[in-house]
Amino acid sequence: MLTLAAHYRAEPWPLLQDVRPRLLEQDPGYTHLWATDGDPAAIFGVHDLHFSVGANVGTQRSAMPTCGLGWHPLWPPVVLDWWTPGDAVTTDRFTTVGAWRDYGYLEFEGRTLGPKVEEFEAFLDLPSLAAEPLELVLAIEDDDPDRERLLAHGWQLRQPSLVDTPGRYRDYVPGSRGEFSVAKGGYVGTRSGWFSDRSACYLAAGRRSCCRRPASRTCCRPVPGGSP
């Protein structure tokens, strides 16, 4: 049984109680730092094996705490039958899907690591510099002052309802030219080696995916056979 994301409880859910082995695939960064302040089982639950989409977790490349657990790297799993690389592009722009202020702020090695809104600041002028349409399907409050700032800088905003079912999500991703996004501070500041399950879907659909952070450090994967 492979469960996705933290359970936030030590006791297994009733449906999992008698299933062994239990495996956890975890989003690195935030939960690891939250777990250091208490009982890791209260965040991750109790499992037999622990996998992470953070390829650096538990290695010398990242100082992020492992909470005493043996983490194994695992790229986000994708069901390839759900994605057809030959689908036509119906949206002539680069897109992404995300939440603006989720996960809040963390302290790590004397630095404050913020949500997507903080990392995005370095790329605010990108639409005018790239001369390319850039679209965000964004969970952001209607009265958030950043909404008007994004629009003023050329970002095109769409409502989350556009992707609020598996079918709509699968229609939206391959309809894009590709993905441009910015990683949350908790992923990049911990050097976790995080890779997005959303980006994996773009790649499976035959679209380029580029997830950036400031200082030109990039996590970018091209379409197989295409240019980077």
Distance from CA of residue 124 to its chain's centroid?
19
Q: Give the CA-trace dihedral at 160, 134, 105, 43, to 10 degrees.
A: 50
Q: Which domains does the chain have, with CATH numbers?
A: 2-73 (no CATH), 81-221 (3.40.50)
| pLDDT reading at 92 higher than 90 | no
| pLDDT reading at 86 higher than 70 | yes
Report the 10 Å Cβ neighbour count for 121: 12
Provide, rounded to the nearest whole percent, the portion of the chain with pLDDT above 90: 68
| pLDDT reading at 117 higher than 70 | yes
Band of pLDDT at residue 84, cut at 50, 70 and 90: confident
33-66 per-position pLDDT tens digit: 999 988 999 999 999 999 999 999 999 999 999 9
Beta bridge partner(s), residue 108: 111
Residue 213: its pLDDT value, please? 63
Average pLDDT, the chain: 88
From residue 202, how far is each of 6, 32, 73, 81, 133 by CA, in Å?
A: 24, 27, 20, 14, 17
Nearest in space to 127 (alpha carbons), one of 158, 78, 79, 94:
94
- Please give the Cα distance from 91 to 176 (Å, whole number): 5
Task: Give the 3-state secondary structure of residue 86.
Answer: coil
Distance from CA of residue 29 to its chain's centroid?
11
From residue 71, how far is each of 58, 83, 85 by CA, in Å?
A: 6, 29, 32
Give start and end residues of each alpha helix (H) in the chain. Answer: 30-35, 40-44, 116-120, 126-130, 145-152, 166-172, 185-188, 197-204
Give the burial string for 213-223 (b: 16+ CB within 10 Å, else e).
Answer: beeeeebebeb
